[in-house]
A and B are shown apart, each in its own frame.
Chain A
Amino acid sequence: GENVGLHLPTLSVQEGDNSIINCAYSNSASDYFIWYKQESGKGPQFIIDIRSNMDKRQGQRVTVLLNKTVKHLSLQIAATQPGDSAVYFCAESASSASKIIFGSGTRLSIRP
């Protein structure tokens, strides 16, 4: 498959445990945040998003937390499964801009 990141930070978790992937963003004006999942050989896939007027949003098995004070974003995956193995990217956008800025990614590895 595609090697999308030779030097990515890696998070290794036991199957069935919860995973927490963290992201620091830089632009105080950013008001929209997204998490993407990228499996080997594929393009990024939208997981969940959150706007700056919220500090938590839940999806199916995933939760995104936003701390604007320290400019920190996290993605929590409940009961991690082998299919969750991928590179996860956070991204930020400001409504005054017309583009998304991506972080460098974290590789999630699942131990059986």
Chain B
Amino acid sequence: EAQVTQNPRYLITVTGKKLTVTCSQNMNHEYMSWYRQDPGLGLRQIYYSMNVEVTDKGDVPEGYKVSRKEKRNFPLILESPSPNQTSLYFCASSFRVPGGDAGQETQYFGPGTRLLVL
């Protein structure tokens, strides 16, 4: 089954304790992206990756890191989480960068990771 998986689905942590949220897709997609979703703000892009070893900042990258060592995986790293990073996080993937070739840019989203930083 074609899918994007995220782990963990729920996480409670304390300020300053490093954490990683994993994201994996089995569709051989080149483009992957992380979003955070907060009430009233919709989804805001944190980081994106156009291919292996190619990553770039989105709209709200502060406090986050990513890596893309393999095509299928795109982990989100919070080196020193703070309470303002409490949010719902989504990973997404598509064949091509959004807005590119027709029919290639539909993004598939993971189920989300609910993070609470105390």
Query: Are B90 and A93 in touch, CB under 8 angstroms?
Result: no
Contacts of B98 in A (CB 8 A): 32, 34, 93, 98-100
Pick from B12-20, B33-41, B73-81 the stretch touching chain A: B33-41
Contacts of A2 in B (CB 8 A): 88, 112, 114
Chain A interface helix/strand/loop/mixed: loop
Chain A, residue nearest B6 (CB): A43
CB of A105, distance to nearest CB on chain B (Å): 6
Known: A6-B39, A8-B40, A89-B42. A43 touches B90 (CB 8 A): yes
Is the C-beta of B45 less than 8 angstroms from some C-beta in chain A?
Answer: yes
Bits for B71-111, please: 1 = Cβ < 8 Å to A, else 0.
00000000000000000101010000111101001111111
Is the C-beta of B62 less than 8 angstroms from some C-beta in chain A?
Answer: no
12 additional A-B pairs beyond A32-B105, A99-B33, beta carbons within 8 Å, are: A4-B37, A4-B39, A31-B99, A34-B106, A34-B107, A42-B111, A43-B111, A46-B106, A93-B98, A93-B99, A98-B56, A98-B98
Chain A positions near chain B (C-beta within 8 angstroms) = 2-8, 31-32, 34, 41-46, 49, 51, 89, 93-95, 97-105
